Structure 1
Amino acid sequence: MQLPRTLTAALAAVVLTLAGCGGGENSQESTSSQLVLGNNGDVLTWDPAEMKEGAVIHYAEAVYDPLLRKTAESKIEGNLASEYEYNDDLTELTLKLREGVTFSDGATFDGEAVKVNIEARKEGAGSASEAARVIERVEVVDASTVRLHLSEPSPGLLAGLATYLGYMASPQALAAGNLATTPVGSGPYLLDAGASEKGVSYRFTARDGYWNREAFPFATVVIRPYEEFTARYNALATGQIQFMYGTSDMVPKAKSDGLTVKTVPGEWQGIILQDRAGKESAALGDVRVRQAVNHALDRKAILDTHYGGFGQVSTQTFNPASEAWVPELNERYPYDPAKARELLAAAGYGSGFKIKISFSEGFMSPLVPIVTQYLGDVGITVEQVPVNGFANGGLETLKGQPAFMLSFSTNIPAWTDVLNKLTPTSLWNNFQYTDDTVTRLLKEIPAAQGDEQAALYKELNTHLVEQAWFAPIVTQENVYLFRSDIDVTMQQAQLMPSLRFFAPNN
């Protein structure tokens, strides 16, 4: 996620320990036994059913194991479910569970635990709920075997079971109803509440007897939330944290400060034009207006200046490595202010119109005035509506706005993006808009496989671009900065590399 780009940091020392780093920590442990992460924001809830996709994944992974897991290339493999198999028509998924696993409160991980967790996800309002919607019934075949009965095939189900849908919490904690404030999972770490301070620092200690300890080599993990990028960089440069999600303009400074820089194709940034039916903004109900917005943006200039060339211009919202990607679609909306004004005139807005565009304050602040200027040049007057960060109710404010700007993850498989943004119940489709073509394709894609499915994905992507559901600007390179005492394996199609991909740099 992008935030302000002003940097004032300097490297305080070449070799630092993490003692006295603030936030309630005074650890005397060496840096090889402690991992300290700078996070994009605070954790709002510990309940996997309510968690929203994004940087919060590090908090979740510390305390919860998923049923499946993603490799660095976003392939799916076993985890708590050591084996999985679909039936022939892809409407039943059988999971063979790992035996001998317990939750941190001593409860046994078994088929009944999986059943109550998945049923809880179906009732939640987080990222897992959309992936869980297709699960009609959870059958406990025996203590180590569970069968998921689906209403229809779901290409994103395995990826869901590797993240929020698959995070397993103690059935006892679920029954007690206090999971939102007190996480109880089967994961590699325990939250040390006494050494943690909400909004400042969260400390996790390695859990005795954890079944996969070699995958998580640090004795302790500390996560410190910083919503402001400059503060996070200062913390990294002075050794208070070891890792952060960065921005492209930080790269020269980071390299001169001796930090490691890695990148991976990741998020798209731009505008979600969610009021496509014109309920709040009549103009957005006309596809010509939405197309005009796309023609008004000089994506190449924005990429070269604002993003420092870290990424590629894009008119599409899927991952470049996914089956939905169509390279030639990026040529659909060349920068053409005259064409934008022509489309506006044809739609009855030759004199222009006003539109509210909301954004998370601080989060997208540098990009908003750039977009405002380009739209203003063709007669679209932007009323900027800054909202609080998500930790302070900003998400609820965004839901009612006709358009908003955020940074959005792109996923493999592409169906995860479908569930996030394209269904009438998707988290980022708050006006519940759809059309006949999208409705048809969302039925046909899950029932297809291989080349046929890929062709349908491309048809869907092409339709979305032609109908201008969005106004993307770039698919950016996610930038990660970290200190030399750790190593991090980059992970495709996930905002933050999973904790399994962090290791001491010996």
Structure 2
Amino acid sequence: MQLTRTLTAAFAVVALALAGCSGGGQANEAGSSQLVLGNNGDVLTWDPAEMKEGAVIHYAEAVYDPLLRKTPESKIEGNLATAYEYNADLTELTLKLRDGVTFSDGAAFDADAVKVNLEARKKGAGSASEAARAIERVEVVDKATVRLHLSEPSPGLLAALATYLGYMASPTALSSGTIASNPVGSGPYTYDSGASEKGVKYTFKARDGYWNREAFPFENVVIRPYEEFTARYNALATGQIQFMYGTPDMVPKAKTDGLTVKTVPGEWQGIILQDRAGKASAALGDVRVRQAINHALDRKAILDTHYGGFGQVSTQTFNPSSEAWVPELNARYPYDPAKARELLAAAGYGSGFKIKVSYSEGFMSPLVPIVTQYLGDVGITVEQVPVNGFANGGLETLKGQPAFMLSFSTNIPAWTDVLNKLTPTSLWNNFKYTDETVTRLLKEIPAAQGDKQAALYKELNTHLVEQAWFAPIVTQENVYLFKSDIDVTMQQAQLMPSLRFFAPAK
């Protein structure tokens, strides 16, 4: 089949949009003392317990410090907690806390504050909630020491403490219930509501006396949300922002416009076939149907055209650098329409069937018709169900859909991906599906270490691919575009590089 979207057409869209763009509209705010970021979307809440993984991390990092932090290679190191140590059976984690840190409301950061925050995360429904479940009790050993008692070993706990689980908010703001609308943290900046406009821009001013000022050299940070890629690119090209998460088809134009282009292996894109028990779509309850969907996709053609070669074909949902990755699995579902039809016929769907596939408008819109055409070629009629962006309730809409398309981050350690998508309570497993093999492996993996744990991860990954829980297309290269007046250090296994990896250009 011929793909319906080409890179040339995509270039034309961007060029046409820029041709109609004058330098007017929003003022050019960028400068040596101010960093202006274009974000993928709006921030729905300032409560770390309710924040969802993704581009929202920049909003969070401006005001909240994490207990631990990730290096550019996603290794864990100390931050507000200067040291950490597990006991022998990995069921207790002791954290030694940094002295002299305060929240922006003047309250002291100490072990009591950590306890309040972690207990609040346990009650939330955001990205931190799955990792928080493993924390059975938070013990205040002394003002500078906390001990987390775990119900079972949790391989992703340290990584979680370096992001949403570990973001420290003022205990006063948490207890008053104002944290969702008014962020108060121990982070490098404070939110300037007077210089902000919801949905348009969010302004943050550097905190006096912040303990790690040299890591955050900008006096002010401004975040502007743009859910639509072309609008975001226009803002970058005209100097209204300095940085954005881009798409592969923007790269040639960006280079012509003198922008810096960097990439890092990152997200997978494709379909989550979440109705694996066939509750809303009976066909998806048959593994042969799910396998047929995988065989129907010409991943190499989609990679070369839609993604411009920025990535690799993939049947896997884990990070290529993680312990779960099995290179051979990417050959499991070669493009084979005849095989797809054979599997459908064996499952009783020789005449095809209809399925609703939902997607978040904007981000996935160009890929959806391509997938629709490939599935249509083997008799699967896709009813496209566009939903609002996450800032407008789209996440809630996806929960009842049998299948949906999104761009999903891949993480190190792999356990973070397990918590995001594979447990019965995962944010992206809304039908709460599991099976005996997955249930067993999710118990065995946390209790193992080293080579044994890696082998169990690979067994899990292989099982998921064989059972076709998902229909990935590519593990793409995340594309970042930015102005020459800033430097950005790329970060593995995180959608957006952390704020401390941004600096004025030398």
TM-score normalised by L of structure 1: 0.96
Residue of structure 2 in register with 1:205 after alignment: 205
Residue of structure 2 in register with 1:95 after alignment: 95
User: Which residue identity is paired with 1:33?
Assistant: S
Residue of structure 1 in register with 2:73 after alignment: 73
User: Which residue identity is paired with 2:252?
Assistant: P
Q: How far apart are the structure 1 equivalents of 2:73 and 2:391?
A: 31
Matched, 1:469 2:476: no
Which SS does the other structure have where 2:165 is aligned?
Answer: coil
Which SS does the other structure have where 1:315 is aligned?
Answer: coil
Q: How far apart are the structure 2 equivalents of 1:412 and 1:309?
A: 24
User: Which residue identity is paired with 1:93?
Assistant: L
Q: How far apart are the structure 1 equivalents of 2:356 and 2:43?
A: 29
Matched, 1:493 2:500: no
Which SS does the other structure have where 2:84 is aligned?
Answer: strand
Counting only pairs closer than 5 Å after superposition, residues 366-445 of structure 1 correspond to structure 2 as 366-445=366-445
8 A contact 1:290–1:469 mirrored in 2? yes
Counting only pairs closer than 5 Å after superposition, residues 185-334 of structure 1 correspond to structure 2 as 185-334=185-334
Which SS does the other structure have where 2:431 is aligned?
Answer: coil
Matched, 1:169 2:176: no
Q: How far apart are the structure 2 equivalents of 1:324 and 1:361?
A: 31
8 A contact 1:49–1:126 mirrored in 2? yes
Q: Gapped runs of 5+ residues in structure 1?
A: none
Cα displacement (A) at 1:12: 12
Q: How far apart are the structure 2 equivalents of 1:39 and 1:213?
A: 23
Runs of 4+ more than 2 Å apart: 8-13
Q: How far apart are the structure 2 equivalents of 1:62 and 1:122?
A: 22
Residue of structure 2 in register with 1:452 after alignment: 452
Cα displacement (A) at 1:10: 4.9
User: Which residue identity is paired with 2:502?
Assistant: F
User: Which residue identity is paired with 1:391?
Assistant: A
8 A contact 1:341–1:350 mirrored in 2? yes
8 A contact 1:21–1:240 mirrored in 2? no
Q: How far apart are the structure 1 equivalents of 2:206 and 2:70?
A: 22
Cα displacement (A) at 1:265: 0.2
Q: How far apart are the structure 1 equivalents of 2:71 and 2:85?
A: 18
Which SS does the other structure have where 2:168 is aligned?
Answer: coil
Cα displacement (A) at 1:21: 7.0
User: Which residue identity is paired with 2:96?
Assistant: K
8 A contact 1:357–1:382 mirrored in 2? yes
8 A contact 1:37–1:242 mirrored in 2? yes
8 A contact 1:344–1:350 mirrored in 2? yes
CA displacement, residues 319-345 of structure 1 (integer Å, 9 cap, x when unaligned):
000000000000000000000000000
CA 1:10–1:352 in 2, change beyond 3 Å: closer, same or farther?
Answer: closer
Q: How far apart are the structure 2 equivalents of 1:362 and 1:84?
A: 42
CA displacement, residues 42-88 of structure 1 (integer Å, 9 cap, x when unaligned):
00000000000000000000000000000000000000000000000
Q: How far apart are the structure 2 equivalents of 1:91 and 1:12?
A: 59
Q: How far apart are the structure 2 equivalents of 1:284 and 1:501?
A: 43
Counting only pairs closer than 5 Å after superposition, residues 23-42 of structure 1 correspond to structure 2 as 31-42=31-42
User: Which residue identity is paired with 1:340?
Assistant: A
Which SS does the other structure have where 1:271 is aligned?
Answer: strand
User: Which residue identity is paired with 1:430?
Assistant: N
Cα displacement (A) at 1:11: 9.8
User: Which residue identity is paired with 2:113?
Assistant: A
CA displacement, residues 431-458 of structure 1 (integer Å, 9 cap, x when unaligned):
0000000000000000000000000000
Residue of structure 1 in register with 2:502 after alignment: 502
Q: How far apart are the structure 1 equivalents of 2:83 and 2:19?
A: 47
CA displacement, residues 324-383 of structure 1 (integer Å, 9 cap, x when unaligned):
000000000000000000000000000000000000112211000000000000000000
Q: How far apart are the structure 2 equivalents of 1:485 and 1:420?
A: 36
Q: How far apart are the structure 1 equivalents of 2:19 and 2:183?
A: 36
Cα displacement (A) at 1:31: 1.5
Q: How far apart are the structure 2 equivalents of 1:220 and 1:436?
A: 51
Q: Gapped runs of 5+ residues in structure 2?
A: 1-8
CA displacement, residues 153-173 of structure 1 (integer Å, 9 cap, x when unaligned):
000000000000000000000
Q: How far apart are the structure 1 equivalents of 2:278 and 2:163?
A: 35
8 A contact 1:11–1:238 mirrored in 2? no
User: Which residue identity is paired with 1:99?
Assistant: D
Cα displacement (A) at 1:259: 0.3
User: Which residue identity is paired with 1:441?
Assistant: L
User: Which residue identity is paired with 2:86?
Assistant: Y
Q: How far apart are the structure 1 equivalents of 2:335 and 2:213?
A: 52
Which SS does the other structure have where 1:192 is aligned?
Answer: strand
Residue of structure 2 in register with 1:151 after alignment: 151
Q: How far apart are the structure 1 equivalents of 2:443 and 2:500?
A: 35
CA 1:11–1:373 in 2, change beyond 3 Å: closer, same or farther?
Answer: closer
Q: What is the root-mean-square deviation in Å for CA atoms of aligned residues?
A: 1.5
Residue of structure 1 in register with 2:14 after alignment: 7
CA displacement, residues 96-124 of structure 1 (integer Å, 9 cap, x when unaligned):
00010000000100000000000000000
Q: How far apart are the structure 1 equivalents of 2:287 and 2:411?
A: 26
Count of residue pairs the alignment pairs up? 494
